[in-house]
Amino acid sequence: MIHSQIIITNYRGKICSFLMNEQHIERLQVTDVKKNLISNIYLAKVKQISKNLNAAFVEIANGQKAFLPFEQIPLLTVTNRVNAENLQIGDELPVQFLKEAVKTKEPVVTANLSLNGRYCVVSLKRDSATLRYSKKLSELTKQQIACYLEQDFPFSVMIRTRAEELSDFAPLKEEILSLSNTLQSILEKAKMRTCYSLLYETQPGYLSFLNELPDKSYERIVTDIPEVYDALLAKSAQKNLQQNVEISLYTDSYPLLKVHSLESKMQELFDRKIYLPSGATLFIEPTEAMTVIDVNTGKCVQKKDKEEMILKINLEAAWHIARQMILRNLSGIIIIDFINMSSKNHKEELMAYMRDLLKKDPIPCKLIDMTPLGLMEITRKKKQAPLSEQFSS
């Protein structure tokens, strides 16, 4: 019996990848094939330099501006000037699409070009330490990798956490060399191309999504999109997929979305109100500056052991909130109004539990504190627009 699988299908004009555990959505990725810009590399032109913002505005296409912070320029790789030391208006340089435009804000790009692999990330050399490691890697694994590689690389290499799963580090070394060659090719291409050229097109989101998942986190991949099926087979043939995973093309006339009730599950992710198994409810309210989440006891009311009941509801709510943050792609400041607890030990237990939940989030996030009014403050890094915005256009 299949317990975990990835389902890739169309939903409201976009390709959605669902990591399913039993009948629950564990992870979700949305690919807009018409706007798949994240990680693409362009030859941009500097249009404006703002010392106050410590950044420059560059043009990545005719009339399409982007924001380039100076801190995102590890090495100046200007292609239309020799011996460039400082960025100037009119300079041309390769930049990588980092963040989508948000309302009135321009999209953000970086000159720290990087290529993601299954086991590592290769980027422009920023310092003398060309080999760096994920903080989650054990010291033993770091030592074993360093001994195996025993060489310097032309670019900075970050070893990802999933390298821990390797029993033989040959695939890691092969990937480092392959990505390094690709990055070198991009830099050489930038010298010969005209401004606004697309120098590197990232793989579709539904493929990069697979790179972000731990090995053995799914048993098979099912899609009803022939083009996606072909891309998956090609990725598997290149040994860039989890080994021994079954890849299936769904051809039945009954829609794949309906087989797993994905339409109703997706609709729940747009709803303001969420019902918890205990009878309690969550209210999720996005605002201009932050997301506010309110926990309500709902029908879950009893006088006996009231404090224990409140703690139980808050712990249940914390688990569902952490899940909703991932699936809805909430970011920035998140304020959670849990049910008030008078016990200091209960408050500390809730905060410790939430911290553990946040460690499992693939996006960096941090529990800041709980205010005297019982409001929990969390920050979550923004990488893409919230799920609701991705489907608003």
Tens digit of pLDDT at every position of the chain (393 positions): 567 899 999 999 899 999 998 888 999 999 887 666 788 999 999 999 998 989 999 998 888 899 999 988 877 788 888 777 788 899 999 999 988 777 678 889 999 999 988 889 999 876 556 888 988 888 999 999 999 988 778 889 999 988 888 888 998 999 999 999 999 999 999 999 999 999 998 888 888 888 888 777 888 999 999 999 999 998 888 777 777 788 999 999 999 999 889 999 999 999 999 999 988 999 999 987 899 999 998 766 665 678 888 999 999 999 999 999 999 999 999 999 999 888 899 999 999 999 999 998 988 899 999 988 889 999 999 877 889 888 876
What pLDDT is stored for residue 300 in this prediction?
61
Which of 237, 183, 182, 229 shows the shortest CA–CA distance to 206?
229
What pLDDT is stored for residue 2 in this prediction?
64
Per-residue pLDDT reduced to its tens digit, 141-152:
999 999 998 877
Provide the 10 A C-beta neighbour count for residue 56.
27
What pLDDT is stored for residue 224 in this prediction?
95
What pLDDT is stored for residue 393 in this prediction?
60
What pLDDT is stored for residue 41 in this prediction?
94
**b (16+ CB within 10 A) / e for 239-257:** ebbbeebebeebeeeeebb
Place of tokens 């009231």: 306
What element of type H or E holds 320? helix 306-327
CA distances from 362 to 95, 209, 218, 253, 365 (A): 25, 11, 16, 35, 9
154 φ, ψ (degrees, to nearest 5): -70, -20
3-class secondary structure, 99: strand
Q: What share of the chain is helix, strand, coil (3-state, %, to 5)?
A: 30, 30, 40
What pLDDT is stored for residue 172 in this prediction?
92
293 φ, ψ (degrees, to nearest 5): -125, 125
The strand pair at 246-249 and 14-21 is best described as unpaired
3-class secondary structure, 115: strand
Q: Which amino acid is at 25?
A: I
Burial of 4 (0-12, 13-18, 19+ CB in 10 A): middle
Q: Alpha-carbon distance 134 to 321, whole Å?
A: 26
3-class secondary structure, 205: helix
Provide the 10 A C-beta neighbour count for residue 365.
19
What pLDDT is stored for residue 231 in this prediction?
92
User: Residue 272 in contact with residue 285, Cβ under 8 Å?
Assistant: yes
Q: What is the DSSP letter of 208?
A: H
Q: How many helices (H) and strands (E) does the chain have?
A: 9, 21
Joined tokens for residue 345: 């030990």
